[in-house]
Amino acid sequence: MSHGKRTRTARPRRRLPFWPLTLVLAAAALASVVVSLAFGSEAIPVGEVVSAVTDRLTGREPGRWDVIVWELRLPRALLAFVVGAGLAVAGAGMQTLVRNPLADPYLLGISSGASVGATAVITMGVLGALGIYAISVGALLGALVAALLVWLVATAQGGLTPLRLVLSGVVLSSGLSAIASFLVFLSDDPRAANSVMFWMLGSVGGATWEKLWIPALVVVVAAVAMVAIHRWMDALAAGPETASALGVSVTGLRTALFVGLAVLVGVLVAVSGGIGFVGLIVPHAARLVVGAQHRVVLPVAALGGGLFLLWVDVVARLAVRPQEIPLGVVTGVVGAPLFLLLMGRGRYEFGGGR
């Protein structure tokens, strides 16, 4: 009879069923958007919120709260949801592209490039002729230039491999952040540093119906496209050798993901600034709940990211009202302990391995 230690067999983690979970998240998202409209510098009863929205949708005479609910709070709530969903999808895609579970949407230096463009607008008046759209356009241009630089550096060194992308992104991000800081240093405006810092930490306070449709369209197109190629992304997450053996063009897929993620993140940063942790923790949470396959991870991550940032924005509005906290502050305070908690819950898989 053997007296050695028994080996404990690890039991597979139970996953939640995808479709019921998706329906619950979608219903929660719809309810959360409506309920969130009640919160702000002036509280509005939920019943009045529902009346204001239905009055608009049915063409009835607008009521007392129409301007606040329809023109101010609803575009903001929808933009927060769209940005959160987009960052979560981008985070899942970036982690697959570089095969690194610590990757986030800003890994390629896109946020730092956007900060240079936004800082140039704030401190030097660049693109001032564009009025209220100057910062968004400047940030988008900076983000796309940063992505192009990463592309050029990585391809010049031999191709879009995960290591080259990570190193190029990190190095260029540091350099671009230094340029943004230098522009603030040169500015004669004493408020420039505060304005740049607030923008870098993220906000959806400037949301309007006109600013909403472009990021919403980009997020939907990117998410649908990534779900459509979910099998290729699963293969890439398992490794380039596995993907090649399954007939996937690794170089073509990496190129498509790089370009798509650059545009997606660039648009999101342009309308909301840099908001950390959403694209890092939400994809991990989705994998823990439904598994590592992209066909289920991406929809769950999108809905979860939208819900998360929607309520982060509510907290940011209420915590020290009438002032607002930048969204990046709230996501950092909430996200860091949440991420550690998620990683400590038993077995965790990324791309087919722990």
> Is a pLDDT exceeding 90 seen at residue 87?
yes
Instruction: Count helices and strands (H / E) in the chain.
Output: 15, 0
Query: Contact, 243 vs 235, CB < 8 A?
Result: yes
pLDDT digits (tens, 9 = 90+) for 32-56: 999 999 998 888 999 999 999 998 9
Q: Name the burial class of residue 228, with classes exposed (0-12), middle (13-18) and buried (19+) by CB atoms within 10 angstroms of its CB.
A: exposed
Q: How confident is the model at residue 353 (pLDDT cuts 50, 70, 90)?
A: very low
Domain boundaries of the chain, sorted by first residue: 77-343
- Spell out the residues 6+ positions from residue 231 whose beta carbon is closer than 8 angstroms to its own: 295
pLDDT attached to residue 41: 83
Count of CB atoms situated within 10 Å of the CB of 289: 18
pLDDT attached to residue 349: 53
Q: How confident is the model at residue 350 (pLDDT cuts 50, 70, 90)?
A: low
The alpha carbon of 328 is separated from its chain's Cα centroid by a whole number of angstroms, namely 11
77-343 domain in CATH 3.10.450.50?
Answer: no
